[in-house]
Structure 1
Amino acid sequence: MKIVFLDRATVPPQTVLRQPALAHEWTEYPSTRPTEVVERIRDADIVIVNKVKLPADVLAQASRLRLVAVAATGTDNVDLAACHARGIVVSNIRNYATHTVPEHTFALIFALRRSICAYRDAVRAGRWQEAGQFCFFDHPIRDLAGSTLGVIGDGALGQSVAHIGRALGMRVLMSGHKGRQGQGRLYTPFEETLRQADILTLHCPLNAHTRGMISTPEFAQMAQKPLLINTARGGLVDESAVGAALDAGHISGAAFDVTSVEPPPHNHPFMPLLARPNFILTPHVAWASSEAIQTLADQLIDNVDAFLNGKPANQVHPKAM
């Protein structure tokens, strides 16, 4: 049984990654370029992957492949339909980030809502001494209590974010992605959430229904000039429209932990925004607390062991797209 991990460096070296219980041959690579994938998985029975793409034409050249174990929750880098057609099981990681992602989400919300980065930079630049008094008021500071939090996505992460929001005294609106219908009376329609939210946070998978779901028309509907927070997937938002939305005052700030291409190239539309006091970009680390990553690593090998024992766990099917 040959197991190949294509991008081991996406899991920190200090994380304990135990070996599967049954006899196997283990090969791992720190990273894998697109041109290297075919050769590295050609004879593999099991492929472990985090962000390396496995399209249909690549999968077709791995005749022995029986399991793709994704070391993440999102599976948009794997052609699920092609896997299904070839009898390849796909598994993912679930419910491991229900503390780390919501905590990072609120770290970004607090930083923007209270202008933490802006005040830090001002103090560094000598503004406090220049003010000549015990404080200064160059940047807005707003409470979270009493404000409206719009949560797009009702999975474990979205529900956890909503729970924290309620504990902070926020009014929480839960919504599905644009176009989703029939969620029931406990949910607010997508368009209404855009209009009412003071803070809008995204917790959706990236798929055909959610890709680009927030762009110029959606920004124009944001009557409360909300903060926009994205710790989910970069492709959920039209990144080229974010700067214009900030300039037009459709949103009062934005914080992203993800981009559609990672790392973003130097000409990415977010790069000119980095100097703004109301824009934050973190390098896809919302998921990356030590505790969460160890849980992920343990569950990853659990998924491999379950498959080897004939009882696949955490299977992802094409209909999930």
Structure 2
Amino acid sequence: MIKAGIIGGSGYTGGELIRLLLNHPDVEIDFVFSTTRAGKPITSAHPDLLGVTNLEFTGEVNPNVDVVFLCLGHGNSSKFLNENSFSETTKIIDLSNDFRLKADATFQGKTFVYGLTELNNEKIKKADYIANPGCFATTIQLGLLPLAKAGLLQNQVHINAITGSTGAGVGLSSTSHFSWRNNNVSWYKPFTHQHLGEIGESLDSFGNKTGQLFFLPNRGNFTRGILATSYTQFDGSLEEAQQLYQEYYKDDVFTHVSAEPIHLKQVVNTNQCHVHLHKHEGTLLVTSAIDNLLKGASGQAVQNMNLIFGLEEAKGLQLKAGVF
């Protein structure tokens, strides 16, 4: 059994990770660390786990676990690792943005591998440290990677994406409060979102020129999921584009190209990404959808863990969508 530790288990991503690992046949949760809930039962933060687990949050860290998941706010993972040491054999999977960019990837003599499985599958298998991608970044990259690899993103790319309220984290803010969010939609961080850096590095990793990315993120009045629409100039036929995408994702267990238009309910509560292509005159429209807490965070983290430990990639991640 793989012994796992979770740092920061009371938030949305931590809660999803606990649920996944409790049901993973090859994993045993050794500890769930929390500075604010030490000594309290896991169910005090996640009441849906009543009757599922008797685990309690702890204020102590076991440095000898096989894998540690960092479910901390951005900027806090590097601080935590500077203050706490783990064994040389402990694998670390970070869900913040602290180590995603190449300039930040080297830490304490170790290099974090960018954990987008559809891009870095073989590198992840050999990695000790993983930087889990951002949720918007995952959705958008999975919509554009086949074009980037083929050198077909030389023109401007316009991206519009909408995310559920869980993307803002468990802490209350003026724009996550129910009375503000309900029956409401708004944009934020237009053209400057922090995920643009990691998106750009991934698209450029094939050595082909990428045009300017114009990204407009939106807040939706629903709980979870991301739907992204990206469009750019494309001179080929729709059939050629579909063949390109099918070929790129032929070996990927969670990313699938749909012949029909897609919607969020297909992927929410799963680790799936669904992609749909539409051609209008000289423009290709790519729609991609994921669950921001699973494929965009905790599910992808478990997928990375499976690859690192030589397990079946989809193990513990065969989840059911709530379509109705």
Both proteins in one fold, TM over 0.5: no
Which structure: larger Rg? 1
TM-score normalized by the length of structure 2? 0.33
- Higher strand residue share: 2
Q: Which has the higher helix share?
A: 1
